[in-house]
Structure 1
């Protein structure tokens, strides 16, 4: 089976499972799980932050960051297509009485600095007080420009905001640009990193920040039900991924380019390539169901829609990519002029 629905579908490697089996464990709520402690500090050091806190998911890590930065009745400024605003169940509002003010994205995920400056509210009692700027890197497979991130965080700080980075795929950005993790985290008061996407761990995210921030976040994590016990088994998988799977993300990026180039040669298929491990294609809506079924019949999973996201990861090889391109081409050849006419 070739699964291109997301990089969240990755499975632990044999070496990762072995690392999990060998992990020393303790009770993390008490702070004495050695595997978690070592993992948190190793990543924090690499990112140039003082401390880290282990979470079961990136959604919970982001939510905990928002609740730690903001009080009831305050607001976060984020992109209108950001994961924090659209894809995390409205958790900040539902659980923290924190609102999100969405701003229109540029294609690379940046928020125009003029719009950001104008969006910040002060202490007028009519308004939710702006407290936090949240950015995302990568955004739909695009790397957030480093110069922009520095300018935006500096402006936010000058206007009295804290800054948070949803870095679910920040390691992809690091590999794509050659910038270090610390360089990409510069300017952000907190950063959320995910290890269960392209890095291939079965579960796990980290929230990074200064020691006092992480101490406050630890209390929120417990409130949210994220305090775990002998979770060093999970941290060991993430630590293995951190040490062994980061550089190989370049293979996923190469495979995404290979996929984009291959699909781009097929008549009627519109392709938008990205900087990292995602490819977006446009298909006529009338063909989406049939194409998805055809792919599934050939052992290929994809969430086909008018805009389809294909995501490469460590369980997808270059040979598999060629098979996907051939299968899509086979369907388009059978559909013939009907598909190209509908696309036009």
Structure 2
């Protein structure tokens, strides 16, 4: 399992410090007010003005012709691959990418696609690795149609794909007739940390999407952008998958509020992640991957505490984290304060000392 939160325990204390994921954020009072006041209509027939506004904002933000609001980021990915590919086609992505590791085999189950996992450190493959995986178009091998990257790379440690690498992957893909797709679940974390605008970060990519239910703090939703023809195809798959909504403006209003108020503050999450990593690294035997954004991966095994035991002991103290690929993942977000970070470090230190 890539993602194993502590099992529910009725005797466990209430969660006071939730570092499980940035999906754990709760809508702020101001966001709830925006949702309550949202002007709405029927999204399916294009009559929801708030959803239409959100789509226009995302298309402009990412420098694409059009965008469509979706219930989830996973549906963004699934609808995209269904729009690009036909049964038997091949998609290339990193071995730990969300479309391989965290979407329940949807791309194979629904589309019959083959996803070829590419190796590479920190959740990223090198452009030359991508080039080496390409093969001549013959009837003996699947048609290679799409390359996908995940920005940031979650299981890789929340690492940021460098712009030069993204541009080179696009260049190679276009030279070989492949479409390009960016899973932007934490794209805005990458742009805030790097100082590169979302439009520049996604330049050249045929499609890209952003998630509102993670660091941006909305309760639901993502939006995918691309050419008008591509978005028309995605809309058809959204309908087929049951993702087409009615008065979706209530949810879209939360996303608009997030774009207006919760993007620049992602830098606070990154600062808290660095503080957490710094504090953990000062505990003897705790191995920490230096964070680039809001994800901190660490292993306490060298301190004599197995990762799953550390997670369980922290849960007893009201701190929630997750095991992911043999490491502990802590995720900072807008509901985590600097004081909570200090307290969490203290709990880890106490557990190590007790061991």
Q: TM-score range by the shorter chain?
A: over 0.9
Change (3 A) 1:75 1:26: same
User: Which of 73, 78, 84 is matched with 1:69 structurally?
Assistant: 84
Q: Note if contact 1:122-1:129 (Cα within 8 Å) is conserved in structure 2.
A: no
Q: Note if contact 1:175-1:250 (Cα within 8 Å) is conserved in structure 2.
A: yes
Corresponding position of 1:203: 220
Offset from partner CA, 1:191-250 (integer Å, 9 cap, x none): 021010001000000110011110111001101111111111011111110111000000
**Structure 2 runs not aligned, ≥5 long:** 1-15
* 1:38 and 2:53 matched: yes
* 1:157 and 2:174 matched: yes
Corresponding position of 1:296: 315
Corresponding position of 1:129: 143
User: Which of 108, 111, 119 is matched with 1:104 structurally?
Assistant: 119
Runs of 4+ in 1 over 3 A off after TM superposition: 285-290
Corresponding position of 1:175: 192
User: Which of 321, 326, 333 is matched with 2:346 structurally?
Assistant: 326
- Quote the Cα distance in structure 2 between the aligned partners of 1:303 and 1:133: 29
Shift of 1:289: 4.1
- Quote the Cα distance in structure 2 between the aligned partners of 1:249 and 1:115: 32
Offset from partner CA, 1:149-190 (integer Å, 9 cap, x none): 001111101110000000100000010011111011111000
- Quote the Cα distance in structure 2 between the aligned partners of 1:21 and 1:324: 35
Shift of 1:287: 3.3
Q: Note if contact 1:281-1:308 (Cα within 8 Å) is conserved in structure 2.
A: yes
User: Which of 335, 340, 347 is matched with 1:315 structurally?
Assistant: 335
Q: Note if contact 1:81-1:105 (Cα within 8 Å) is conserved in structure 2.
A: no
Corresponding position of 1:278: 295
Q: Note if contact 2:311-2:328 (Cα within 8 Å) is conserved in structure 1.
A: no
Offset from partner CA, 1:102-151 (integer Å, 9 cap, x none): 111232x4322232123223431111100001011111311100111001
User: Which of 202, 213, 220 is matched with 1:185 structurally?
Assistant: 202
**Structure 1 runs not aligned, ≥5 long:** 336-344
User: Which of 93, 112, 130 is matched with 1:116 structurally?
Assistant: 130
- Quote the Cα distance in structure 2 between the aligned partners of 1:23 and 1:255: 33
- Quote the Cα distance in structure 2 between the aligned partners of 1:123 and 1:290: 50
Corresponding position of 2:102: 87
122-131 vs 181-190, which moves further: 122-131
Corresponding position of 2:237: 220
- Quote the Cα distance in structure 2 between the aligned partners of 1:113 and 1:275: 21
Corresponding position of 1:341: none
Shift of 1:290: 3.6
Q: Note if contact 2:307-2:327 (Cα within 8 Å) is conserved in structure 1.
A: no
Structure number with the bigger relative contact order (C-alpha 8 A, sep ≥ 6) is 2
Q: Note if contact 2:151-2:184 (Cα within 8 Å) is conserved in structure 1.
A: yes
Offset from partner CA, 1:283-322 (integer Å, 9 cap, x none): 2286334422331222111125741111000000000000
User: Which of 282, 307, 311 is matched with 1:265 structurally?
Assistant: 282
Q: Note if contact 2:126-2:165 (Cα within 8 Å) is conserved in structure 1.
A: no
The TM-score normalised by the length of structure 1 is 0.94
Matched positions, count: 334
Offset from partner CA, 1:57-107 (integer Å, 9 cap, x none): 100110100111111211111111111111111111100111111111232
* 1:60 and 2:80 matched: no
